[in-house]
Amino acid sequence: MMSKMRNPLSAAGLVLAPMAMLLSSCATVPVPATQNVMAEQHTRAEIREVANRAANWQLANLDNLEETIRYISRETPNKRGWVMGTFFLGLADYAQRTDQPLYLQSLTRIADDQDWRLGDRLYHADDHLIGQVYFALDRAGVASADLAPTQATLDAILADRPTNQMMHPDVESDPGCARRWCWSDALFMAPATWWDAASTLNNAAYADFAHEEFVVATDLLFDQEVGLYYRDSRFFDRRGADGEKLFWSRGNGWVYGGLVNILQVMDVNDPRRDYYISLFRRMSDSLVAIQTDEGMWRASLLATSETPPETSGTGFFTYGLAWGLNEGVLVGDRYETAANAGWDALVANVDADGRLGYVQQVGDQPEGVQPDDTQLYGVGAFLLAAGQIERLRTR
C-alpha cells in the first residue's frame, strides 16, 4: 500500500456524510451508455495528448542530445544500444496500442538504417534490447522487417554459450561477468528478445536459454526477504544514507518491466510461466508498500528520508502495475490506486513541450536527480506506462 493516501474530501466529511446517507436510500440511477463512451473518449484523449507530446518531443530531439540531456554516455547516441532502444521499445508498444502508424514508420526508418542488426557486442545484454523493437515491428506487419541478423546473433551465442561466474568485479574497467546477465538491468535488455525469438522463429532452444539464465541471475540478485533485486553483487553489503539496503529504483524497474515483456511474448501454456508470475506478484507487493504519498518511488527504494522524485523507475513500476491489473494477474484496489497515482505523478513531470523531467541519469545506483533531467529510457518507460494506463482507465 502507499504509505499515506491523502483524501482531499476528508475535511468535508461532516457535510458529505448526510448527503451520502440520503443518496444511499435512493434507487441507483444507471449512467447512460453514451455518457460512459464520452467519459472513455475523454480519458483516452487526455492520456494520448500527454504521451504524444512526450513522444514527439523526444523524436524531435534525437539528434539534439547534447542540448537536452545533462549526461551523455557513450551508449546514448547508439541507435542499436539500450538507451535509445528503450525509447524505441516504448514508442513501438505505444504506437501499436493506440494505432498511430506514423510512429511505426519512424521506427522502421531507423531499423532500416541499422540493417536490422543487434548491437556490436555479441554477448552483452544491452546490445540485445533492440531485438525486441524488431520483433514488435515484424508483428506490426512492417514489410522490410528482417529478423535474420537477430537470429544469427542468438545462434552464435548458443553455439559458444558463456559459463563465466556471475559475481560482479569491483573494478569498473574489468568486463568480468557481463557476458552473462549478472546485473539487474540485463533482465530487461535481453530475456524478452530471446523469448520473442523462441515464439516468432519457432525455436524452443531460445526460450530454454533465456529461462536458465534468468533463473541463475535471480538466484543471485533477488532478496527473498525484501522481494526486490540488488543491482549486482557489489551491493549485497552496501547501505544507503538511512542505513537501508540499497535497492535501486531503476534497477528494479528494469526487472519489473522485463517480467512484463517476457510474460507478454511467452506462450500462455508454458509451464515456466508460473515462475515469472510469482516473481511479478512478489515484486508488486513490495513496490506498492513503499510508494510515496506523491505516487513516486525513491531512487533508493527503502530510503526513509525525503528525496526528489525519480521518474524512470516510477515509469516502469506504473507500467507493470497497470499491465498486471489489465491481465488479471493483479487484483485489488491497492494495486489500482498505486498504478493511477504513479501515472498522475509522471504526468505532473512532463512539461508543456513534452520533456519528461526528474529522470536519473545513466548510472548503476541511486543518485541525485534534477527537475530538468531527462533521458530517452525515461520516456520509453513513460510510453510503456501510457499504453497500459489507457487500457486500465477505459476498460
| Distance between CA atoms of residues 310 and 166, nearest Å | 29
| Distance between CA atoms of residues 268 and 310, nearest Å | 34
- In this prediction, residue 175 carries a pLDDT of 64
- The answer on 360 and 222 residing in a single domain is yes
Residue 20 lies in a domain: no
- The answer on 357 and 213 residing in a single domain is yes
Q: What is the CATH number of the domain that holds 244?
A: 1.50.10.10
Residue 177 lies in a domain: no
- The answer on 372 and 357 residing in a single domain is yes
- In this prediction, residue 10 carries a pLDDT of 33
Residue 125 lies in a domain: yes
Choose one of 164, 190, 218: the last residue of a domain: 164
- The answer on 100 and 242 residing in a single domain is no
Residue 11 lies in a domain: no
Tallying the residues shown for the chain, one arrives at 395
Q: What is the DSSP letter of 305?
A: S
- In this prediction, residue 184 carries a pLDDT of 98
pLDDT in tens, 97-136: 999 999 999 999 999 999 999 999 999 999 999 999 999 9
- The answer on 334 and 260 residing in a single domain is yes
Read off the pTM.
0.91
Choose one of 113, 144, 164: the last residue of a domain: 164
Residue 328 lies in a domain: yes
| Distance between CA atoms of residues 70 and 375, nearest Å | 9
185 in active site: yes
- The answer on 142 and 234 residing in a single domain is no
Residue 215 lies in a domain: yes
Q: What is the DSSP letter of 79?
A: T
Among residues 185, 196, 232, 373, the one annotated as catalytic is: 185
- In this prediction, residue 37 carries a pLDDT of 85
- In this prediction, residue 31 carries a pLDDT of 53
Choose one of 118, 141, 164: the last residue of a domain: 164
Looking at the DSSP bridge assignments, the partners of residue 248 are 300
- The answer on 329 and 276 residing in a single domain is yes
CA angle 255, 260, 262 (to 5 degrees): 90
From 342, 351, 326, select the one nearest 382 (Cα to Cα).
Answer: 342
- In this prediction, residue 351 carries a pLDDT of 98
- Average pLDDT of each block of 10 consecutive residues along the chain (395 residues)? 36 35 43 78 96 99 96 96 99 98 99 99 98 99 99 99 91 76 98 99 99 99 99 96 94 99 98 99 99 96 86 99 99 98 98 98 95 98 99 96
- The answer on 251 and 149 residing in a single domain is no
Residue 109 lies in a domain: yes
Residue 332 lies in a domain: yes
Contact present, 308 and 377 (Cβ < 8 Å) = no
- The answer on 85 and 62 residing in a single domain is no
- The answer on 246 and 142 residing in a single domain is no
Helix boundaries (H) for the chain: 13-24, 33-60, 65-68, 82-98, 101-113, 130-139, 148-159, 186-189, 191-200, 204-221, 249-265, 273-289, 311-326, 333-347, 376-393
- The answer on 231 and 142 residing in a single domain is no
- The answer on 83 and 210 residing in a single domain is no
| Distance between CA atoms of residues 310 and 345, nearest Å | 10
Amino acid at 180: R
Instruction: Please give the residue range of the domain that contains residue 326.
Output: 41-72+201-395
Say how many domains are in the chain: 2
